[in-house]
Chains A and B, each alone.
Chain A
Amino acid sequence: MSDLVPPSLRPDERAMLAEYWHFFEPHADAINVELLRVLETMPNWAPMIRAMKPEDMAAQNKRSTARTRAALVDNDWTEYLADLHQQGKGYAKSGISFAAWFEILAAYRDAVRHRIVALAREDMTRATMVSDGMNRHLDIAMGFLGEAYLETKEEIIREQQEAIREISTPVLQVRDRLLIMPVVGLVDTHRARFLTEGLLRAIRDRRARGVVMDITGVPIVDSKVANHLAQACEAARLMGAVVVMTGISSEIAQTLVAIGAQLRGVRMVGDLQGGIEEIDRLLEHPREDDDPLDEVES
């Protein structure tokens, strides 16, 4: 958990938060009941509300009241923020949308507003202060909740990326000294690096002489990706392996020509089977144009 830094509040903000709490606390139970009634009609929240036992909910409300009082009145935010953080994480993991939280906010504002309006008839100054305090309170709460929510979502994304990276760059041995590497999914700079390193390690460890890199599963090949793939092929060649690239779809071929990508020094064959046959041929009978000296230097 990251360090939760309490909000820095001006004295007038602290006063309005405390004023809001002193107004709210006597109404707390009534407001909670009203809030529950509304939430029970909302598809996002009704199942969760129904799943809770009334006595658990009462206990939870009591703890929440104590924490909120400590924060708003005594300016001690530690427990309150820790709880918000926990909740934000929980909602992110259980897949509740962020927007659903604003439904609760709207219901809460409704429940409090008509009481503030009643107060305004007697004491306009205090009512303004209470309503300012409520808004400040909700802003702080949503800020911290949102941060925890995003943090957790980002963490999930990182974990998934890691998982995808690991499963998506297998290097398979077809037979003695011949490898195939099916590349599936988007190739970015980071993944290209990972993929190339994996390929080079496999060439050394399994003493490969030929590699077929099949990119049927790569949906987008732009000039950057093309460059990455060409670099991987060149690195493999430096280690003495013959590389053939296969599986370039007609759409990708058109894109490559349209953007002027060169893929210089990369041998291409239509499909995987053709690629394996081509490597057999290259390893068995080196062609005249296989001799690198005949390559035109620019």
Chain B
Amino acid sequence: VSAAPEPAREGWLASRLGAAALGRALATPARGRWWWLGAAVVVGFAFQAASGALLLVHYVPHPDHAFASAWRILWDVPFGWAVRLGHAQGAGLLLALGAAHTTVSALRADYKAPRELVWVCGRALLLLGLATATSGYVLPWSQLSYWATTIATAPLEKLPGIGPTLLALARGGDAVGAPTLSRAFVAHVVVLPLLLAAGLALHAWLLRQAPVPGASSGRPALRAIEVAMIAVGYGTLLLALCVFAPGLAFPPHADVPADPLETPAPIRPEWYLLWASALQALLPERAGLAILALLPVALLAVPFLDRGPVRAARRRPLALAVIAAVLAALVLLTAAGARAESGAASQCVLCHEADEDEFVSACVPQWRASVHAAAAVSCDGCHGGDPLAADEADAHDPALGWVGTPHWRDVPALCGACHESVSDGYTAGRFGPGRSAGGAFPPTCATCHMASGHDTPRADAREILPDPLPERLRPVPELAEMQALVLPLAARERALGERLEALARRALPPTGLARERDALRAAWTPALHRFDPAEFPEAVERALAGLDALEARARAAEAEAGVRGRLAVAGLGLATAVLAGLGALHRRVERAGAGEDA
């Protein structure tokens, strides 16, 4: 007589927690080939929740403090860089995984009966994730946050009927401001994470009710190891993103505090919304809005539109064609959104570029190489006219502000529309209106900065004030005196700029030093443009003192970069070792299981 097998004993804590029952309730009964994508999304959500909670310790959700506190986390709080970078990069990674999960589900027709609700719940989670990422974009309260929010919420007003109410709900007022930040904070930190957590639980429950067809159950031990491997793999990928591509989380204007009076250009959304902005630019306003409003509905309705019983991809050519078309459109629109110049530039560039007369076409490559193209300042910024008109006469209509080559008297004010402090300095100085010696044609902005055409360089003193001075600048005696002071100062600025660029290439988000270097330059350049030799040496002395301080901070940042780099390499090595260990354990448990089955 053989003894009956004893039931497996649970540990003290596990028995009181009901761990076995909980494990059975949480675990999916069976898994398909691509189950790890969904599991990685859950891991990513857990990471975002944890890193978000850590950010809340130091973040202050107030317009006067939000930017400074977010910046302090990045640069002053020990390991704050890892938390903030990880959270920012994690948002993109999570959305990419969610999109991949959706694509695989669509290709495998995992939405077919009886799994309609699994699809609807999963895609609703993707849309909620998008809303969570977008609301999080507001919180650093940078120029990018402020203007991306302004541009993204403005179309709501155009929706018929409920538009103004929706806009008021989103912004909390007429313009983006403190109420918008409060609302984004509550949505990002409380409402959306709760909805996401509940949605994930519901998704897991629905998955238990309707498993993926052809799925097989795995051994609990194997499953635990696999989940651990997914978590470590996710962490490794995230760390690699933070180390090798920190700039992904900090596009232009993300390191400048919000300023409602100054819209920088160009403002581009995060990569996962580029397609939407390109679509809006491509279509008439209402058509673009209608498509953007209908897309989520269409995504959720997929199971009810494709109701045939066939699942095999090769027997669903129409469905495959639709999926391929949607993916291709998303990729193309994203690429178009990423390289979009200011829309205003397009028609001028198209016509001039195609013109056979070199005098007419030469300006286009020059402009493209200039600092103005980089800042999306388009042709009509200086020449007026209608940059969207395809007809030459309409484009060059004086009634639409067409001025051709601006008169030299107008140039300082024209440039001053953007370069305000420099223009103010020039206007108040030696060559300002009415002070030009003998009424002669004085040097204007274009004399030095556009000496060779439209290829306005970044303000490099070696090019603008070469030693010796060119003939055209010799009638200005003040310039020779200033040149002696400017060139050494500019050389130190240039050296600092190169150090900052080198820093930016390392495992670092923007340091803010480049912004401070620009502020320093903005403080001394008006004195230069007043052409007053008596005032200028003092301004240069102040600038040199400022450079001393910035150089010291650059050295500290370089040391910090070294520490972070070593930590990151150690972390990546450790993660790889853990992954290898888990892989070996997985194979061992698998072999043992196969032996038992045999």
| Chains A and B form a bound pair | no
A binding-site residues for B, Cβ under 8 Å: none
